[in-house]
Amino acid sequence: MSYVGPEKVAVSMLESGLAKTKLSAAQMVLRGAVSTFLLGAAVLLAVTAAGQSGVDVFGALLFPMGLVMVILLGLELLTGNMALVPLAVIEKRASFGHMVGSFGWVLFGHILGGLLAALLIAALLTEWWTAQADEFGLAIADMAAEKTIGYQHLGYLGGAGLALLNGILCNGLVCLGVVMGMTSTDTTGKILAIWFPIAAFYALGFEHSVVNLFVIPAGMMLGAPVGIDDWWLWNQIPVLVGNLIGALALTGLPLHYAFRQRTASASD
């Protein structure tokens, strides 16, 4: 049978987190950059599908293809790593420094990949900046504005706090998708297990820091009235913190502690 039980999944979570700390900096940056590029393509597909059909849920049903490609190709996704790498630190199999280094290099790769994808998509949708973006490009610009200056009417504490809460709820689902991908040994099973939590986060409009590293700069290049300070202060920083809290509190730690003792006894 292709199904993998929770005890073995708990072991896989720990081993995956440990393996990620052993990658070279160049591997982490490159894998992080490629993953953001793939997520950017998935966002563009989702926005286009929702716009053409007039049904937003169609976009949500297509978006998970991005994370599926990231996981099946063994790339690096910071938001997923937030639930896995700390487990290796908790079990004293990796140091806190290793975790910080892993997070930092992967985030750097995400920033590079997000900016490159944003630049290419903006150039495509504006025909090398010789024309106004089409309706789908304008939809991305609207998304960027909503994710940043859209919070400002609440004041910084309220707006950033709401972004943080959106980040917490988002990454509980994203990390669930990452872990669900470990519950099957065959490709079809992995895809189906990953798909639904990711579709749910996108449909609910939660904030994903890695996706935003593409959406917000792309929106800025396509005309969104958003500055770099708006991007980082009203969205990127609070969402990153929220994603970390969500990864640990909603997925990584509960599953680890729920099955750690059972896993240990099975190994004996």
CA distances from 31 to 46, 73, 210, 228, 244 (A): 23, 9, 13, 25, 20
The predicted-structure confidence for 31-61, as pLDDT tens digits, reads as follows 999 999 999 999 999 999 999 998 999 999 9
Domain coordinates in residue numbering, the chain: 6-126+141-260
pLDDT at residue 260 in the model:
86
Share of residues in the chain with pLDDT > 70 (%): 97
CA distances from 12 to 82, 181, 255 (A): 15, 11, 11
Give me 1's structure tokens.
């049978």
Average pLDDT for 215-222: 98
**Residue entry with tokens 């049904």:** 55
pLDDT at residue 82 in the model:
98
For the entire predicted model, the pTM comes to 0.94
φ/ψ bin of 208: left (φ > 0), alpha (ψ from -120 to 50), beta (otherwise): beta
Model confidence at 1, pLDDT cuts 50, 70, 90, reads: low
The predicted-structure confidence for 123-149, as pLDDT tens digits, reads as follows 999 999 999 999 999 999 999 999 999
Model confidence at 265, pLDDT cuts 50, 70, 90, reads: very low
Model confidence at 267, pLDDT cuts 50, 70, 90, reads: very low
Q: Is the pLDDT of residue 210 over 80?
A: yes
CA distances from 249 to 166, 175, 225, 236, 244 (A): 14, 11, 35, 20, 8
Are residues 79 and 57 in contact, defined by beta-carbon separation less than 8 angstroms?
no
Crossing angle of helices 135-146 and 25-53, rounded to 10°: 120
Fold of 6-126+141-260: Glycerol uptake facilitator protein (1.20.1080)
Nearest-5° angle of CA 251, CA 257, CA 262? Answer: 125
pLDDT at residue 261 in the model:
67
CA diameter of the chain = 66
Task: Give CA torsion, residues 133, 137, 139, 145, to 10 deg.
Answer: -90
**Residue entry with tokens 């640990």:** 248
